[in-house]
Amino acid sequence: MERLLVLVRHGQSDWNLKNLFTGWKDPDLTAQGVSEAKAAGQRLKALDLHFDMAFTSDLTRAQKTCGLILSEMNQSSIPVTHNQALNERDYGDLSGLNKDDARIRWGEDQVHIWRRSYDVPPPNGESLKDTVARVLPYYCQDILPQVLAGKRVLVAAHGNSLRALVMVLDRLSPQTIPSMELETGIPLIYRLNADSTVASKEVSHA
């Protein structure tokens, strides 16, 4: 039984390129983001991986990344589940603002706290702790049982929603996880033990 779980952060979005807080806003992939997603699919295909199902968020950039990966692997026919539980962290009042402009408005230190603390949310938004509280029940109830049953699962989502999963899989602390960066379009390949702990992890760089 393989118990394969692959996590991929979406390719570069238009707002990533413009240095804007994105959150639940729904910009599309850039040309570079499309290339990153296709490259991820090509690397997974070269590793001869096969998926039984995929999960992604309700946002275009993650859904398109998922579709491009599966297309490159000639596996577009597998079932794909969309759920907002996997959406990016909601940046609230920061959404759509340029990150440099936000620093001018609220100060470097305050914006750093909002971005890099574990439990301090931006105004009307979610902290990373809030995002973890949203993502983990969905993972435990909908994704993990499929993996433990031997299904090979792809999850294409976002930097912070995937941080929540990596926090559990890699046993990272609330102090460690905010500083961990997930690169766009770089697959994290996990194989799990029967008790849901990690048997192996591989980062599939180009």
**17 vs 74: CA distance, rounded Å:** 29
Q: Which strands sit side by side in the sheet containing 188-192, from one edge to the other?
A: 80-82, 53-56, 153-157, 4-9, 188-192, 198-203
2 carries an active-site annotation = no
Give CA–CA dist 196/153, Å, rounded. 14
DSSP code per residue over 99-164 = HHHHHHHH-HHHHHHHHH-SS-PPTTS--HHHHHHHHHHHIIIIIHHHHHTT--EEEEE-HHHHHH
Choose the catalytic residue: 36, 72, 88, 126. 88
Q: Are 206 and 177 in contact (CB under 8 A)?
A: no
Query: 153, 78 in Cβ contact below 8 A?
Result: no
Whether residue 184 contacts residue 16, with contact meaning beta carbons closer than 8 Å, is answered with yes
Instruction: Report the distance separating Cα 31 and Cα 12, nearest Å.
Output: 8
Q: Which residue in 112, 176, 165, 105 sits closest to 134, CA to CA? A: 165
10 is catalytic: yes
Q: Which residues are catalytic?
A: 10, 88
